[in-house]
Amino acid sequence: MGRDWGAVFGVADEADLFEHFECGTYRGREYRYLPAARHGVERGTAVLGDTVVRGFPSIPRVLVLDPGLVDFFDGPVTVEEKLNGYNVRVAEVPGSGRTGATADRDGDDGEWADAGPLAFTRSGRVCRYTTAVVREQCDLAAFFADHPTLQVCGELVGPENPYTAHDYDEVDSVAFRAFDLRERATGDPLPVDERRALCEAYGFEQVRSFGTYEPAAAVDAVADAIEELDERGREGVVLTSADGERRLKYTTSAIHRSDLAHAFALPFDYGRDFVFSRVIREVFQAVERDESPAATRERARRLGESILLPAVRTVRAVDRGEVVGEDHRVRGDPAVLDALLAQFRDQGLDVRVRADRREGDERVVEFVKRASATRDKTAHYLDGGTVDE
């Protein structure tokens, strides 16, 4: 490939690393991406020609704020909201530097030079739908003209997104919220204050900040923030050291129940580890808050309902012969939505379009990603099939 990729990624066995990369295409151009972390290289790392876009690192979770925060951080930490959507990284591939209207026109040379800023999902795929959204919502031309080596990391949230749909009062359809700026090739983060100042300067909407605290004071600040977010049905917080290098996340009971409700609506498509981890988070949260027996029983009731009721609804739906799966609604340019649906089918997803209409200049598509394992196993058991345990 022309580069010493072992040196680029800091690995001894370049061939072994690239065996784990998968191939993708964007507008006829081939690239490679890493769907799972290998050899210390982050999940979602992409290679486009000679350009590397590093993946976003996983963030460890703390189950007990005190002493967890004090032990993990040795200086000031910024507390920011963690949103429930899907992780997006936006980067410009070096070349002509064209952005905006001209950037969407393909050249004839098959090079990446005219591609413009591209949006990568957490797994490292270039998503044409997400790319169109962030190009429309963010002044990427100005930012990358001044900071060509950075990538913008954020969350795409709202009820009309094709990956993780979640209602936010302030978002009608779909919106991008920046939460980090990193070097594209190395993944090194900018300090928090510099990052937030740059995002503000270029008009990028950012995740909410609850302030900066010393670790001991952050314990109460996070507890207060979580209480507010929990009441509003939001996800949680991320804590970041001043230099951007160290992070922790802590989530609300509301999102634990929401995750479980989603999983048990498709009980045979999500692993037991997914379920167990969220129940354990509830256990430690109840203990940390020193809840009364009555409060713990109420937590247990709500947790149980989030598990049982969605599963019962799904089994009844299968019994009635209905389609079960993850429902989504998206809107945008017709060609972009065609590309999105084709991308899902190329990934092996069973997608069924429920409705397809025009609203003004936009196309609106409602579709379901059918849950084959849940459908097939549920039907088998309803027909008298046995369970091997």
Taking the C-alpha atoms of residue 208 and residue 222, their distance in angstroms, rounded to an integer, is 13
Nearest to 72 by CA among 222, 246, 188, 288: 246
Q: Is residue 381 part of a domain?
A: no
60 shares its domain with 185: yes
Chain-wide mean pLDDT for the chain? 92
Q: Is residue 376 part of a domain?
A: no
Q: Provide the CA 46 distance to its chain's centre, in angstroms.
A: 16
Q: Residue 26's pLDDT is what?
A: 87
Among 251, 278, 305, the domain boundary falls at: 251
Phi and psi at 157, nearest 5°, equal -130, 165
Q: Is residue 117 part of a domain?
A: yes
329 shares its domain with 238: no
194 shares its domain with 54: yes
170 shares its domain with 295: no
Please state, in angstroms and as integers, the Cα–Cα distance from residue 329 to each residue in 125, 127, 270, 352, following that order.
21, 16, 22, 12
215-231 and 253-265 helices cross at what angle (nearest 10)?
Answer: 50
188 shares its domain with 306: no
Among 231, 251, 271, the domain boundary falls at: 251
197 shares its domain with 314: no
210 shares its domain with 344: no
Query: Which residues make beta-bridge pairs with 363?
Result: 332, 358
Instruction: Give the residue-averaged pLDDT of 297-307.
Output: 96
pLDDT band per the 50, 70, 90 thresholds, residue 114: low
Q: Is residue 76 part of a domain?
A: yes
The residue ranking higher by pLDDT, 274 or 246, is: 246
Instruction: Give the residue-averaged pLDDT of 331-352.
Output: 94
Instruction: Give the residue-averaged pLDDT of 323-345.
Output: 95
CATH number at residue 241: 3.30.470.30
CATH number at residue 258: 1.20.58.2250
346 shares its domain with 358: yes
Instruction: With a cut of 70, say whether residue 110 has pLDDT above it.
Output: no
Taking the C-alpha atoms of residue 284 and residue 226, their distance in angstroms, rounded to an integer, is 14
Please state, in angstroms and as integers, the Cα–Cα distance from residue 315 to each residue in 350, 375, 378, following that order.
19, 9, 6
45 shares its domain with 184: yes
Instruction: Give the residue-averaged pLDDT of 148-161.
Output: 97
241 shares its domain with 259: no
Q: Residue 2's pLDDT is what?
A: 63
Instruction: Give the residue-averaged pLDDT of 136-159.
Output: 96
Query: Which residues make beta-bridge pairs with 358?
Result: 363
Q: Residue 93's pLDDT is what?
A: 86
184 shares its domain with 265: no
The residue ranking higher by pLDDT, 274 or 239, is: 239
Total domain count, the chain: 3
Instruction: With a cut of 60, say whether residue 96 has pLDDT above it.
Output: no
Q: Is the dihedral of CA 326, 329, 330, 335 positive or negative?
A: positive
Q: Is residue 242 part of a domain?
A: yes
Least confident of 5-14, 218-227, 306-315, 368-377: 5-14
pTM score, two decimals? 0.91
Q: Is residue 346 part of a domain?
A: yes
User: For tokens 């022309």, what's the residue?
Assistant: 2
97 shares its domain with 244: yes
Instruction: With a cut of 90, say whether residue 292 has pLDDT above it.
Output: yes
Question: Helix, strand or coil for residue 143?
Answer: helix
Q: Residue 94's pLDDT is what?
A: 75
Q: Is residue 386 part of a domain?
A: no
Among 319, 334, 362, the domain boundary falls at: 319
Structural domain range at position 140: 5-251
Q: Is residue 382 part of a domain?
A: no
Under 8 Å between Cβ of 178 and 199: yes
